[in-house]
Amino acid sequence: MRIHLSEHFTYKKLLRFVLPSIAMVIFTSIYNIVDGLFVSRFVGKISFAAINLVFPILMILGAFGSMIGTGGAAIIGKTLGEGDNDRANKYFSMLIYVMLVIGAIFAVAGYFILPEILKFLGAEGELLEYSVLYGRIALVALPFFITEFAFQSFFVTAEKPQLGLYVTILGGVTNILLDALFIVVFGWGLVGAALATVISQTICILAEIIYFARKNDSLLHLTLKTKFYGKIFIKACINGSSEIVNMSAMSIVSMLYNYQLIKYIGENGVAAYGVIMYVAFIFAAVFFGYEMGISPAISYQYGAKGYDELKNLLRKSLVIVAVTGVAMFTLAEILAAPFANIFVGYDEDLYNLTIHAFRIQIISILFLGFSSFGSAFFTALNNGLISAVISFVHTFIFEIGCVLLLPLIFGIDGIWYSIVVAEIAASLLTFFILYKNRKKYNYA
């Protein structure tokens, strides 16, 4: 049964509304995880390390799609709440077209500068060769990769989160099947993994464009009767700036982790961190999917001046984030050994290193959702500045500061504890900012 943005949300209705978005983001995360699993098992740990070295770079580029998608969805949701559907569709169409162009420009530039970035990160020899090979093929689908991030937000704003889930499942299943075919059957190695991802992303974006271009009962439609709205584009970028700050910083942190691990441990450290990040992506995807699902409702109620419902959404969200954090921490403790065995069980030293690091880092899951939700909440309220402050301090100050300083004090374990300390500090900052702004937005 279709749930509208204007409705009152009980816990049951709220979870039903956001569940497709959560599942959609999890399946999106599976793209890289599937590549990593097949490559680690059937190609080798150097190739596996190569994928993990390239992935943060691709995520920084993909962050532009998340920025414009979340920032644009906040504007479009507010515009729909004000009752101007025609203007909302023009904004939606303009943002999609602009992202495809931006993606193409980034893909061409990335092809040439990728080797230099990888060298800067410490890659050399076979690791450098494999990283460049995988990255350049993956860049072919960059316009689709970037736009896919935005469509994830727009499906929810269009009151069609379940369709976004179906498209993402289509892409995920395609990626798995092609990985098995290209890597296991044809023996194409890294090339096969990259091609599988490119093809699956292309199929997803084509399905999304075809759906929104046709007549349907969605709130949003692609139209050629639009133009470049410079102010709206800039506002979308400002609104969603926290997303690009957050995703870019996460990628930069990942690159710093890889740099520190190469320095302290070598390729085994990068491979172990890759396994941990796959788990972290899935758990972070749960929170990110929840935020993606709930944000259009927050924007709609803000535009419609539904302050009582705004309070309701905030209170229920904080409870859900807390309970989910405890549940996922418990699950991670149970799955630590089996998951590590699936990826790196063939190498005893690497397996033991992964388990040790994993059990330290999963403590951060207890706090992971609060700063992330706080940032998304203010983005939905069209306050990109506060949202960006939370993301910037969280990642560029707390996380980067910890990953650089703690290893100097505690050695290798300092690297693993960095994310834990950063998440606790970011959660405290988020609650302080929510408290300070409660009267301005009438949400508490």
pTM above 0.75, yes or no: no
pLDDT band at 425 (very low <50, low <70, confident <90, very high): very high
For the ranges 72-86, 134-148, 411-425, the maximum mean pLDDT occurs at: 134-148
Q: Quote the strand ranges of 192-273, DSSP E.
A: none
Q: How far apart are the first and last CA of the chain?
A: 30
pLDDT at 252 > cutoff 80? no
In degrees rounded to 5, what are phi and psi of residue 314?
-65, -45
DSSP letter, residue 217: S
Predicted confidence at residue 32, as pLDDT, reads 63
Q: Please, which pLDDT band fits residue 284 given cuts at 50, 70 and 90?
A: confident
- Count other Cβ atoms within 10 Å, centred on residue 376: 27
Per-residue model confidence (pLDDT) at position 2: 65
| Residue whose C-alpha is closest to residue 146's, from 225, 216, 228, 244 | 244
Looking at per-residue pLDDT, the higher value among 122 and 134 belongs to 134
| Secondary structure (H, E, C), 264-312 | HCCHHHHHHHHHHHHHHHHHHHHHHHHHHHHHHHHHHHHHCCCHHHHHH
- State residue 56's pLDDT score: 78
CB burial string 251-276: b at 16+ within 10 A, e below = bbbbbbbbbbbbeebebbbbbbbbbb
pLDDT band at 100 (very low <50, low <70, confident <90, very high): very high
What confidence tier does 159 reach under pLDDT thresholds 50, 70, 90?
Answer: confident
